[in-house]
Amino acid sequence: MQAIYDFFRTLPVESLNYTFVVRALFAVLLLTPLFGLLGTMAVNHQMAFFSDALGHSALTGIGLGMLLGLSRDLDLVSMLVFGIFWALMIVAIKRTGAASADTVISVFSSTSVAAGLVILSSGGGFSKYSSLLIGDILTVAETDLIWLLLALVLGIAVWALIGNGVLLTGINASLARSRGFRIRLWEGAFVVLVAVAVMLSIRWIGVLLINALLIIPAAAGRNLARSVRQHAVWSVCIALFSGVAGLFLSCSTGLATGPTIVLIAAACYMVSLLVRSVRK
């Protein structure tokens, strides 16, 4: 890793002299493509609210880790386990048709936020956990990068395997089934994949903004694309651009990184809206 830091020092960008900025850059390069890719499906199948609820459930996951006395690295495990459990619960209850999807998701979202806040503030105030809300990508450690690399490789592999099934299921479940796709399995695999991506990144992006990273680049890409492939390419490019530009802008101006990344993505979205209306 030292050789990489040395290489970046030779570049004419002042902020890259700092090893924590280089690590953050790698984190952005690993994290944003996966979010860009998964986001395409989330925006096409009205799952934006669902992924928001998942992000919120990280609070409960960390709270449970604290209750179990887990260390900082291990509370990632409690977040992952709880996030996956919560995602599958939402899907299962949605399937029963007991209430409309947005109602079910809202109930689950609020419950996990409340439970997380109760647990995390029980030891004398929530303030020491407030960094969870906006995250800080500049604190990424080398071991975190390995986790993110694993998530990216695994995420792309799983998405390659289930993408077609999820796409057809979103168009018409019976049609997908008649083509031999096991729709419950695909749906479950997709929400687990989103849960894993969200939980692994929450410490760096924050509970409040994680959903923006998933949704905004994909929403902007959707305005520019005509096909599934174009959508994936635009979404990943916009996510990468927002991530890298946001990181450098925040470093040179002293602004918080996560929100800057999201603001740049939002600007891309506005431009995409403009392009779309001109094309029409």
Partner 1 sequence: MTHVCHLCHIDLDRISVTRGGQELLHEVSMHIHCGQLTALIGQNGAGKTTLIRSLLGELPYTGKIRHVNENGRDVPHLITGYVPQHLEFDREMPLTVQDLMAAAFSRRPVWTGVGAKTRAAILEALKEVNAQELIDRPLGRCSGGETQRVLLALSMHPAPDLLVLDEPVSGIDSNGQTLFLDLVSRLRKNHHMAILLVSHDLRLVREYADHVVLLDKSVLAQGAPEYVFGTPEFDRVFGSGEVS
What's the closest the beta carbon of residue 5 comes to partner 1, in angstroms? 34
What are φ and ψ of residue 185, in 5° steps?
Answer: -65, -45
Select from 19-27, 121-129, 184-192, 226-234 the region that touches partner 1 (CB under 8 A): 226-234
Is 174 among the residues that bind partner 1 (CB under 8 A)? yes
- Name the residue type at position 153: V
3-class DSSP assignment, residue 23: helix
Per-residue exposure over 151-166, b if at least 16 CB sit within 10 Å of its own CB, e if not:
bbeebeebbeebbebb
Out of 28, 37, 47, 105, the only residue in the binding site for partner 1 (CB under 8 A) is 37
Is 96 among the residues that bind partner 1 (CB under 8 A)? no
Is 172 among the residues that bind partner 1 (CB under 8 A)? yes
Is 103 among the residues that bind partner 1 (CB under 8 A)? no
Is 179 among the residues that bind partner 1 (CB under 8 A)? yes
Is 44 among the residues that bind partner 1 (CB under 8 A)? yes
What's the closest the beta carbon of residue 107 comes to partner 1, in angstroms? 24
- Owner of token pair 């975190």: 144
Length reported for the chain: 280
Per-residue exposure over 38-50, b if at least 16 CB sit within 10 Å of its own CB, e if not:
bbbbbbbbebbbb
Is 222 among the residues that bind partner 1 (CB under 8 A)? yes
- Name the residue type at position 267: A
Residues found near partner 1 in the complex (CB under 8 A): 37, 40, 44-46, 159-161, 163-165, 167-168, 170-172, 174-175, 177-179, 221-222, 225-232
